[in-house]
Structure 1
């Protein structure tokens, strides 16, 4: 199953990339929502091989994600892959400069079930793909609007 969303930020590409690559800020957001987030290589610079262990509760069960950085090409983009309980999740973020103060961000999410349980978990998501993609678009648009406002001061 593939989902994608696209939005624009009123900021230069380098600045935009740096905000999306602030993984510690995203870890803090997750912790505020009850997730446990640990970086597997604390102190090392972010790049291919960087990773996190994330535990959270969803639908009454504890879930584990182990996202690992597979691509790192500032300011063009990065990709993370996570394999959890037979579910392979790939998140690719790309940045395009539209001008000196404008950046387009594209977010692509691919979920693939390797185990029967993971395939069964994905089935209802496939049926609600349009709604999920709309929620992803809304979240990305909202985050980009926040970043644009932050940049404007």
Structure 2
């Protein structure tokens, strides 16, 4: 299943890319939502091969996911591959400069099942795909609004 969304952002492409790749600021935001993120590659600037572990609650259970930045092209694109027990996810963020102070963020999320249970869950999710797409686009718009200002602000 693939979900996509785009949002126009009132900020230059370099600023948007810097905010998207500033993982040190994402960790506290995730923690406030009950998500635990641990960087596992030793830290430093974002580069391909950067990895982290994530634990979060979903449907009443604690879930674990390992993620890796597989592509990082400044200031246009970042791709992340994540593995959980049942799924493999690919998230691609592309930033297009529209003007000096305006950008467009395209986000694509592809979910691939790794187990029979995940395949069944994905099939049932496809039945409500239009609702999922609307919710995904809404989240992307909110994410885009948050990128218009520095994350620490």
Provide the TM-score with structure 2 as the length reference.
Answer: 0.91
Residue equivalent to 1:14: 14
Distance 1:129 1:26 in 2: 28
Are residues 128 and 33 of structure 1, via their aligned partners in 2, closer, same or farther at CA, if it must alter by over 3 Å? same
Query: Given that residues 20 and 147 in structure 2 are in contact (C-alpha distance below 8 angstroms), is that contact kept between their aligned partners in structure 1?
Result: no
Residue equivalent to 1:124: 124
Residue equivalent to 1:107: 107
Matched, 1:92 2:129: no
**Equivalent residue runs for 1:33-52 within 5 Å:** 33-52=33-52
Q: Unaligned stretches of 5+ in structure 2?
A: none
Are residues 36 and 146 of structure 1, via their aligned partners in 2, closer, same or farther at CA, if it must alter by over 3 Å? closer
Distance 1:123 1:87 in 2: 13
Q: 1:86: Cα distance to partner?
A: 3.0
Residue equivalent to 2:24: 24
Distance 1:125 1:65 in 2: 20
Residue equivalent to 1:60: 60
* Structure 1 vs Structure 2 CA RMSD: 1.6
Q: Once superposed, which parts of structure 1, at least 4 consecutive aligned residues long, lie more than 4 Å away?
A: none
Q: Deviations over 1:26-61 (max 9, x none)?
A: 221221122221000233321111011001111121
Q: Unaligned stretches of 5+ in structure 1?
A: none
Query: Given that residues 87 and 113 in structure 2 are in contact (C-alpha distance below 8 angstroms), is that contact kept between their aligned partners in structure 1?
Result: yes
Distance 2:47 2:76 in 1: 13
Q: Deviations over 1:62-121 (max 9, x none)?
A: 111111100010101100001111311000000111111110000000001021021122
**Would you say how many aligned residue pairs link Structure 1 and Structure 2?**
151
Provide the TM-score with structure 1 as the length reference.
Answer: 0.91
